[in-house]
Amino acid sequence: MMQTQAAADPDNLAAAVRTMLHAGRPAAARPLLAALTRLRPNADGIALLESGLAEAEGRIPEAIAVLNAALAAVPADAALLKRRAGLSHQAGDTVAALRDAAEAVIAAPADPSAKALLGLLLIETGDAVGARACLAEAIEAEPDNASFRLGFAEAATRTGDAASAAAALDDGIRRTPMRPDLREAAIRLALRRGDPATAERLAEAARQAGLADATVLRLLGRAVAAQGRASDSMAALGEALKLDPQDALLRHMAAAAGMLPAPDRAPPSAVRALFELNVTKGENEVIAAGDRVPGLVRAAVLAGTVFPKDSRLGPVLDLGCGGGLLAVALSDLPLGPFVGVDLSPAMLAAAGQWKVYDELVEADLLSFVAEEQRLFPLILAANVLCWFGSLDAVVTAIAARLAPGGRLIFSLEAMRSERPDGRGWELGPEGRYTHTAAACERAARAARIRVAQLAPEILSTGKGPPVPGLIAVLVRSDDAG
């Protein structure tokens, strides 16, 4: 009898529902929630459990509707507001999510999770300064919360304060040494900052702590490779491959190290993962780092473009737009609307902050041009064809989207010498491909478009030796069908 009464106790039922939902067992949670509702239909927390069940079953609109009804009765309930913010974010309604998160902070100003939620949403909307402030307050209240520290590190890095980001992660590792995500974030940040020695130290510390998974070992391989230690890099990559032999990025980096055959192109998932090692940089920071490609492409645009009178030339397709600096470099010209395409959601979010693009699309380059129906008088591909080996197929696919008379302008990293087998490309140690001028000319012939310019240039004068490259301008004939 006592067991039956305990099982029917509302608090026990609520705890059991939460346990089942946390374990991913919504079918088991459903009858328990029904029993709880019969026992205490107006109990605090019922709406949270009902919305949690609907979410677990993939019924996001119904989950939001449950919270809408509950909030109509208690509009300042922080827990309900936080849950609805999370669901709205899942549904793609960032504006609603941000509004609810802000109202949750107002309703419960001492709640660190509300501040952290608001901070994470502010990162997505481009307000890194506001995000940093929210997450700093959350960390002050809960200094051992690793998730808060990860968010703060991202926000601080986006504001250009990588030192504070690194300090927050280091303190988090000291407080919660068995959190592998903190260690990985610290290693990635060191690589972003161009400090491979620190990245190696952090990776080795993770290994000593028993937290060196395939990702840590891959990052270790990058760190030692950046210090010129090819054999150590291959050893780390070999260890990582044993742990996760199917990881696309890991296999690509192993191919770049000469351990596996080089594929014809970098797998899109590998490129996306490599992008995530970088953060959006401000225009001045990129210029200071010696990236000359935006300026070189701008010069190529100005050299041959006939701009219409009293209107703009467009639409302009920016393939592999990254953080959007190419469109920024062209934003004073009568061009547009700009359509940016990139694999990385983080890069697209960064590009959106410039307020230059009329449309941003998360997609693989080849998939986009295969499905897109519009024709473009100007297509740009800066620092993106370095992820392809053979250029023939990709240039042909892009050329199909050129309007008659349209121009395709792109950059390539140049091969320093011809291969004995005559192949016009090779995979370099950083995971990018280099090409010969002859490879570009062959690709233009395959696509049936004309080479108007193929100029050798130095693409970067930043850290390390100058990067030799090519700026190509290909033109589709005016009568092309």
pLDDT for 283 equals 40
Work out the end-to-end distance of the chain between its first and last CA atoms, rounded to an integer number of angstroms. 84
Residue 13 pLDDT > 50, yes or no? yes
Total H helices, total E strands in the chain: 24, 9
Name the more confident of 291 and 232: 232
Determine contact, residues 254/425, Cβ cutoff 8 Å. Answer: no
pLDDT above 70 coverage of the chain, percent? 94
Residue 62 pLDDT:
95
Structural domains of the chain in order of their starting residue, each with its CATH number: 177-261 (1.25.40.10), 283-475 (3.40.50.150)
* pTM of the model as a whole: 0.78
**What's the CA gap between 317 and 237, in Å, rounded?**
37
Is residue 141 over pLDDT 50? yes
| Beta-carbon count within 10 A of 123 CB | 21
For residue 380, pLDDT over 80 is answered with: yes
Q: Is the pLDDT of residue 205 over 50?
A: yes
Question: Could you tell me which residues come within 8 angstroms of residue 202 by beta carbon, excluding any fewer than 6 positions away?
Answer: 183, 186, 187, 190
- Give the pLDDT of residue 8: 63
CB 456 within 8 A of CB 468: yes
Mean pLDDT, residues 110-122 taken together:
97
Confidence at residue 284, expressed as pLDDT on a 0 to 100 scale? 38
List own/partner pairs for 223-230 with CB under 8 A and 24 or more apart: 223/187, 223/190, 223/191, 223/196, 223/197, 223/199, 224/196, 224/200, 225/257, 225/429, 226/191, 226/196, 226/199, 227/196, 227/197, 227/200, 230/257, 230/429
Q: What is the mean pLDDT of residues 30-50?
A: 87
- Per-residue pLDDT, averaged over 125-146, amounts to 95
Return mean pLDDT, the chain: 91
Q: What is the pLDDT of residue 10?
A: 83
* pLDDT score for 463: 63
The whole-number pLDDT of residue 417 equals 76
Query: 213: number of CA atoms within 13 Å, CB side?
Result: 9
Average pLDDT value for residue range 310-321: 95
pLDDT at 481 over 50: no
Tell me: pLDDT of 189 over 90.
yes
The per-residue pLDDT for range 226-240, each reduced to its tens digit, is: 898 989 999 999 999
